[in-house]
Amino acid sequence: MQKRITTAHGGGGEEMRELISGLFFKYFSNPYLEKLNDFAKVDISSRRIALSTDSFVVEPWSFPGGNIGDLAVCGTVNDISMSGATPLYLTCGFILPEGMPLEDLEEIVSAMARRASEAGVLIVTGDTKVVGRGAGPFINTAGVGAVPDGIDIGGEMAKVGDEVIVTGAVGSHGIAVLSKREGLSFSTEVLSDCAPLNKMVAALIENGIIPKVLRDPTRGGVAGALNEISVQSGVEIEIEDEAIPIEQGVRSACDMLGYDPLHIANEGCMLVVVSQKDAQRALELIQSCKYGEGAARIGRIAEGAPRVTAKTLLGTKRLVDPPSGELLPRIC
Amino acid sequence: MQKRITTAHGGGGEEMRELISGLFFKYFSNPYLEKLNDFAKVDISSRRIALSTDSFVVEPWSFPGGNIGDLAVCGTVNDISMSGATPLYLTCGFILPEGMPLEDLEEIVSAMARRASEAGVLIVTGDTKVVGRGAGPFINTAGVGAVPDGIDIGGEMAKVGDEVIVTGAVGSHGIAVLSKREGLSFSTEVLSDCAPLNKMVAALIENGIIPKVLRDPTRGGVAGALNEISVQSGVEIEIEDEAIPIEQGVRSACDMLGYDPLHIANEGCMLVVVSQKDAQRALELIQSCKYGEGAARIGRIAEGAPRVTAKTLLGTKRLVDPPSGELLPRIC
């Protein structure tokens, strides 16, 4: 008979201990976790740390190109990386529905372990709760990274003249989840771009390119992220529609459904704002990285009130609004 | 009309930004949070940090003596404190049901702010997701604390001859939640003991008492926590039934419902294992703290196979098993 999650797996008793040692230790094995305390004590070499957290509620939990476990690790690794910090340790909280097949949980946990290994981070402490049928699985991860000396990257640091790079084609995560959820099929299958970006950030910093801003355009998409940066830095951002890399499958899906690809969530690309003098070298470094082949220079920081504009294919200028409401709920 | 949570509040757009600045900044105001990045950069003076995480799914979210917000802050503050570390920073992830009244969320957020202030911690970064009606609210917190030099506290450190102290009456949190959930009323109203324990831990350490083990007996209760310690340290733990502080309301409720108070969850007391020579002084220090008046010496570490035994009122010895299954689901 298929083994399933019961309320006892979240109850603090024998069944929970069996789940922890039988499943979590099998995949997340490391000396911190195995101490079995409700905390992990870890060493950190820098006096400045970056902290981040995200809860993942994507529905369905599995989609073309990944599952909620891939997202839970990559999402927090990426948020930490956007500060310029080196992600080191993750915490992990599972909220599982009663009746969930244990093999589904194993699929999720094994994806988390693969991504943690790829990103070079350790999952050092965790928590499991079980709730009623129909809710979840939900996963929260929080992360800690070491901020290198002299690094001050943040949404408020963009200056007039800086350039904007996107590290890969946009919109594929949102369309991949949507296609699975709605049972849609497009001419070309769209896979989520879900990936850890920390090695790409490290490649820039190790080569002496310190970005002003790094931002992964998840919920709200590229339009949401650029608008946030424009407000935080108090600048206008001008992009060029033509320069934005979009896969054919994403473009067709957006045309069919009436979506703007700039509003669609991504999980494996980022926006990089760099000084003009660094832009070409930054692009080349990014393109040499595993997840950066499709990178492109898409615009620049201009003088003007905080807003985002795009030069259209017709040569006119349009306002790029952040999405309002929730276009695609439960996308991450 | 009563304002309610909509899917747009979790969508990464304007509505989410309004929720963040209108509600979260109002209560959690601090310079880290207000940078509006997906990460917080914070300074840490120690080279060793403690990390912990917990997701809270208590049902109902409000109960006599507190709500899920009190639990979310105290629970993680306490887990960090159980390492001997000074809790400093929390991250916070909300998973909210569509349709939740905003005033309910404000009640939760204000409780979190009060508890964070009491414990002296800052909520520095967060995340909000909205899911379908009927699931949640769920809150995850993760915490970072600074581990003082020379402190090595953990479940594996108990030695034969050490004594066991409990810092307050046991079982009240579980019974308080149960009474609200089931609409039960007992002769005496039972209030949750939910409280931050970090100042009590600091009082011990600052006065030169370094405990061997600290553990807050949440899910699984005192019996669960003692059994964990006995396994981690490879020792027998002997307690005395008569010595365990239990409020009359909890005792009556447990008698009526057939529960063992040692199996009931707590959220504001802890087990302290100290060397015999420190035990009396530790007890006095704990009793001088805000949440430690009801503290008592309840047993000792004995030679023997890993197990927990209790001397009964009749002078016989019984085995104290950890709870199996989930006695009281959704208790934290």
Helix (H, G, I), strand (E, B) or coil at B254: helix
Higher pLDDT, B72 or B33: B72
- Kindly state the greatest CA–CA separation across chain B: 67
Residues of A in contact with B43 (CB under 8 A): 47-49
Q: For chain B, which domains are there?
A: 7-146 (3.30.1330.10), 163-319 (3.90.650.10)
- For B221, the closest chain A residue by CA position comes to A12
What pLDDT, in 10s, does the model give residues A15-56?
888 899 899 999 998 988 878 778 899 999 888 999 999 999
- For B87, the closest chain A residue by CA position comes to A39
Residue type, A223: A
Residues of A in contact with B133 (CB under 8 A): none
A residues 163-222 lying closer than 8 A (beta carbon) to B: 215-216, 218-221
Residues of A in contact with B33 (CB under 8 A): none
Q: How far B82 CA lies from chain A's nearest CA (Å)? A: 8
What pLDDT, in 10s, does the model give residues A274-298?
999 999 999 999 999 999 999 999 9
**Closest partner CB to A92 (pick from B13, B53, B95):** B53
Structure tokens at B295: 């503290």
Q: Is A121 an 8 Å CB contact of chain B? A: no
Higher pLDDT, B280 or B134: B280
Q: How far A234 CA lies from chain B's nearest CA (Å)? A: 13
Q: How far A212 CA lies from chain B's nearest CA (Å)? A: 13
**Closest partner CB to B232 (pick from A6, A36, A55):** A36
Best CA proximity match to A226, nearest among A291, A152, A309, A160 = A309
Residues of B in contact with A94 (CB under 8 A): 55
Q: Is B149 an 8 Å CB contact of chain A? A: no
Q: Is A257 an 8 Å CB contact of chain B? A: no
The separation between the first and the last C-alpha atoms of chain A, rounded to the nearest angstrom, is 31
Task: Count CA atoms closer than 13 A to A12's CA, side-chain side.
Answer: 29
**pLDDT tens per residue across all 332 residues of chain A:** 689 999 889 887 778 888 998 999 999 989 888 787 788 999 998 889 999 999 999 999 999 999 999 999 999 999 999 999 999 999 999 999 999 999 999 999 999 999 999 999 999 999 999 999 989 899 999 999 999 988 999 999 999 999 999 999 999 999 999 999 988 877 778 999 999 999 999 999 999 999 999 999 999 999 999 999 999 999 999 999 999 999 999 999 999 999 999 999 999 999 999 999 999 999 999 999 999 999 999 999 999 999 999 999 899 999 999 887 667 788 89
pTM: 0.95
**Closest partner CB to A12 (pick from B57, B95, B224):** B224
Q: What share of chain B is helix, strand, coil (3-state, %, to 5)?
A: 35, 25, 40
Residues 6+ apart with CB under 8 A from A157: A212, A213, A233, A273
